[in-house]
Structure 1
Amino acid sequence: MTDTSKAKYGESIGADGPPPSLEQQLLAAAAAGDADEVARLIELEADVDYQDEDGVSPLMKAAEGGHIVVLSALLQSGAPWNAQDKHGYCAGEYAMGSGHQEAVDLLLDFAVQVELVLGALERYICDMIYMYAAPNSGYLTQKLVYRGEQLLDADGEAVMMGWERPLMVRHAERDGGGGGGRVLNVGFGLGIVDTEIQSHKPERHTIVEAHPDVYEHMVRKGWAERPGVRILKGRWQDVLPELLAEAPYDGIFFDTYGEYYEEMRDFHIHLPRLLARDGVYSFFNGLASDNIFFHMVYCRLISLELASKGLTVEYEPLAVGSLGDEVWQGVRSKYWHFETYFLPRVTRVDPLDAVEEEGDEGGEGRPCVEEAGGVTAAADETMAAGGRGEAGVAALAPDDQLQQ
C-alpha cells in the first residue's frame, strides 16, 4: 500500500482508524470513478468480489456513479454481475436508480453473455440430474387444494391465483388461435386462460396437465366433455409425441409449475415444429419476479434463444398495479413483486425482414442483443425504468437504503 493511496481514499473510510484494506480502497476508488486507481488495486489482487457490511460492492458503486470504464474493468476481472446487497439490490438496479442507461446496457449485455456461456454447463449438469429424477416430480406427488381463486400446494405456496385473470385474458386474446384455429395450452391451473380460449371458439383445444389433482378437478368440471377439447394427462415431455403428431398449432401458451427456465428452454426447442407459420406463442413471464434487473436478463436470454430458432418476441407492458397484503392472505410466499407485467408474443421471423435487418448492421441504435431479441422499445424502456411506473431502484426502496 502506498502513502498516496491512503491519502487519496483513506479519509473517506476512516483516516484515523487502521489503514484501509485493498478492498476498502477499491470500493472508494470505484465510487469515485478513478479508473487508474481501480486498475492498480486489481493488479495488487484486491478482491473484486468484496462487499462491505451493507453488502455493497465496488461494482455497485461504479454502477451507481455511471463509471463505464471502471465497470468494464471490474466485470472483466471477475466481479459478479448478480451479487446483491443486504436489501436484495444488484449493480444493475444501482445503475437504473441513478439513471445511468449506458451502465444499465453494459451490465445487461454482460450478464446475458455470461449466462449464455455458463448456461451450457448448467444444462449439462441438469441433464445428468434429470437422468435419475424428473425436475418437477416432487410437485406432482403433493396434494393440491383449490380454495376460491387460489390453487395451493402442500406447503401453502400458490400454484396460481385469481389476480392473474387480466393477464390470462390478454394472453388468450393474443394466443387464442384467432377463432377457428387449433390451440395448445400447457398447464391448466385455475383454468382461467382455457376458459378465455374457449370464448374464441377454437377448432381444437388441447390441454396438457401433469398434476393428478388438477386433472381430476378438470374432469369434475366437465372439461373432458367440452366440444373440441382434448386433455392429455402427463408432463409435456411425456406427451410430446402426441403433440407433434397433432401440430401445428395456431396458438400455444406455456404455464407450468414446478419447472424452471431450463424446462421452458427445452420446450422451446420443439417450437419450430409445434407452431404454425402464422401462429402465436406465449408463456407466463414470471421469471425472476422479485428482481427487475434479473427479470430483464431473462427476457433478453429468451429473446436471443428464440431468435436462434427463427422466432421473434415482443413484450407488451400490462399494468398490474400494487398487489396489497390482502391479495396474498393465506399464501405462504408472494411470487409477484412488479407493478408491470411484460406479456411476451412470439411469432416466426419473416425471412424478408431478416434479410433487411442484416443489411442494416453497423447502423446506430441500441446493442445488438436487444435487436436480436426483438424486444419492443416501449417494454424495454419501461423495464429499464424499473418496471414499476417510477424511476428504477428509487421506486423500490427508501432513499436511505440506496445512498450508501
Structure 2
Amino acid sequence: MEEGGKQLCEAAKNGDAEKLKTLIDSGADVSYFDGEGLTPLMHAAQLGHAAAVKALLEAGAPWNALNPSNISAGDLAMNAGHEEAYELLLNAGIQAELVLGTIARRENNNGEWNDDYLEDRVSFSEDKLMDAENKAVMMAWENPLMEAHAKAVCSNGGHILNIGFGMGLVDTAIQKYSPASHTIVEAHPNVFQRMLDDGWDKKENVTIICGRWQDVVHELPTFDGIFFDTYGEYYDDLREFHQQLPVLLKPGGIYSFFNGLCGGLKMDGDLHNWWYYDYT
C-alpha cells in the first residue's frame, strides 16, 4: 500500500494522469501522505498538473486534506499561480459543500434551524476559520471568489448588506469600493468578538449586527447590493432569505450568494455566472 502511494506521488509530480489512473485502478491509496507530508493531489496542484489533479479528484482524493503546515492543495495551486488546477479544486470544494448540505438537510427532519454551530467555539488562523470539529468554515484561498462577489454587489455603489462575516474576506473586498454604508450581520459570538478586536466597529461606514439574520431581517432597511454566505445553513434557509429580497433589495439592485441552492447545476465552467442577480 505504501509503495503504491509513493508511486502515486511520483506520477503526480510528473503530471502523468494515465499512470495515476493505472495505479488507482490497482488499489493505490489516493489519500497517502509522503515523507514531506504531502498527498499526490498536493504534489499535482503545487506543480500545476491540471489533468493529474482532475484524475485524483475523480478517484476521491481528499481536496481539503492539510499538510503539516495546514496548507491544502488549493492553497498550493493558488500560491503557485496555477489557475486551472486551482479552479478544479475550488469546484471540488463547492460540490462537496452542496452534497454535505443535502445530507444535513435530510438528517434534520424537524425543520428547525440547527444552532449547534453557534454554540461551538470557532478558531482562527492566518488563513482559515475552523469550527469545533476542525472543519473549515472559510479558507483564504476562497478570496478570489469573494473578490468577484464584492465587485458584483458593489457595482451600483450605495448601501451594501452582507450576511455572514466569517474571515471577513468579502467584507474586506467590499470596503475597497467605499460604499455609502456597509451592514454586516454575523451570528456567531466568537466571530463577532473577532470583528470587534479587529476594529470593524470603528469603520465609519460599517454597521455590525450580531445575531441570526432570521431574527433581524425585518428590521433592516433597503440596499443597493446584497451578499449572502452563511455556514450551517442550506436550501430552506436560503429559500427563506430569497423571499425577503423584494423588500430588502432596491429596484435594480444586485444580489449575489454562495450557498447550497444549486446542487443540480454542473459546475465546470464560470463559477460566477449563476450567482449574480439583478433583482428588479
Q: TM-score, normalised by structure 1?
A: 0.41
Residue of structure 2 equivalent to 1:240:
217
Residue 345 (structure 1) aligned with residue 276 (structure 2): yes
Q: Structure 1, residues 275-296: CA drift from partner, whole Å, max 9, x if none?
A: 11010001015557xxxxx441
Residues 163 and 286 (structure 1), Cα distance of their counterparts in 2 relative to 1, 3 Å cut: farther
Give the Cα separation in 1 of the matches to 2:133 and 2:203: 33
Select which of 169, 175, 189 maps to 2:166: 189
Contact in 2 for aligned 1:206/1:229 (Cα 8 Å): yes
Contact in 2 for aligned 1:209/1:235 (Cα 8 Å): yes
Give the Cα separation in 2 of the matches to 1:220 and 1:151: 16
Contact in 2 for aligned 1:186/1:253 (Cα 8 Å): yes
Which segments of structure 1 move beyond 4 Å, counting only runs of 4 or more?
A: 285-288, 340-343
Task: Give the AA of the match of 1:272.
Answer: P
How far did residue 171 of structure 1 move?
A: 0.6
Give the Cα separation in 1 of the matches to 2:196 and 2:130: 19
Residue of structure 1 equivalent to 2:254:
280
Select which of 208, 221, 233 maps to 2:198: 221
Task: Give the AA of the match of 2:205.
Answer: G
How far did residue 218 of structure 1 move?
A: 0.3
Give the Cα separation in 2 of the matches to 1:266 and 1:277: 20
Give the Cα separation in 1 of the matches to 2:202 and 2:180: 15
Residue of structure 1 equivalent to 2:115:
137
How far did residue 169 of structure 1 move?
A: 0.6
Residues 158 and 342 (structure 1), Cα distance of their counterparts in 2 relative to 1, 3 Å cut: farther
Residue of structure 1 equivalent to 2:156:
178
Give the Cα separation in 1 of the matches to 2:279 and 2:218: 22
Contact in 2 for aligned 1:177/1:202 (Cα 8 Å): no
- Structure 2: state its 5+ residue gaps: 1-58, 61-104
Task: Give the AA of the match of 2:231.
Answer: Y
Residue 296 (structure 1) aligned with residue 270 (structure 2): no
Select which of 125, 134, 142 maps to 1:156: 134
Residue 210 (structure 1) aligned with residue 141 (structure 2): no
Q: Does the residue aligned with 2:156 lie in a helix, a strand or coil?
A: coil
Q: Structure 1, residues 123-166: CA drift from partner, whole Å, max 9, x if none?
A: 9x97x824xx5x23000011100011100001011100111100
Contact in 2 for aligned 1:251/1:275 (Cα 8 Å): yes
Supply the RMSD in Å over aligned alpha carbons.
2.9
- Structure 1: state its 5+ residue gaps: 1-86, 89-121, 289-293, 300-315, 319-339, 350-404
Give the Cα separation in 1 of the matches to 2:244 and 2:147: 25
Q: Does the residue aligned with 2:247 lie in a helix, a strand or coil?
A: helix
How far did residue 348 of structure 1 move?
A: 2.6
Q: Does the residue aligned with 2:161 lie in a helix, a strand or coil?
A: strand
Give the Cα separation in 2 of the matches to 1:285 and 1:264: 7
How far did residue 317 of structure 1 move?
A: 4.8
Identity %: 46
Residue 166 (structure 1) aligned with residue 144 (structure 2): yes
Give the Cα separation in 2 of the matches to 1:209 and 1:220: 14
Number of aligned residue pairs = 180
Rg: which structure is higher? 1
Task: Give the AA of the match of 2:196.
Answer: V
Residue of structure 2 equivalent to 1:264:
238
Q: Does the residue aligned with 1:200 lie in a helix, a strand or coil?
A: coil
Contact in 2 for aligned 1:317/1:343 (Cα 8 Å): no
Give the Cα separation in 2 of the matches to 1:145 and 1:287: 27
Q: Does the residue aligned with 2:138 lie in a helix, a strand or coil?
A: strand
Task: Give the AA of the match of 1:129.
Answer: N
Q: Does the residue aligned with 1:296 lie in a helix, a strand or coil?
A: coil
Residues 204 and 177 (structure 1), Cα distance of their counterparts in 2 relative to 1, 3 Å cut: farther
Residues 186 and 160 (structure 1), Cα distance of their counterparts in 2 relative to 1, 3 Å cut: same
Give the Cα separation in 1 of the matches to 2:155 and 2:202: 21
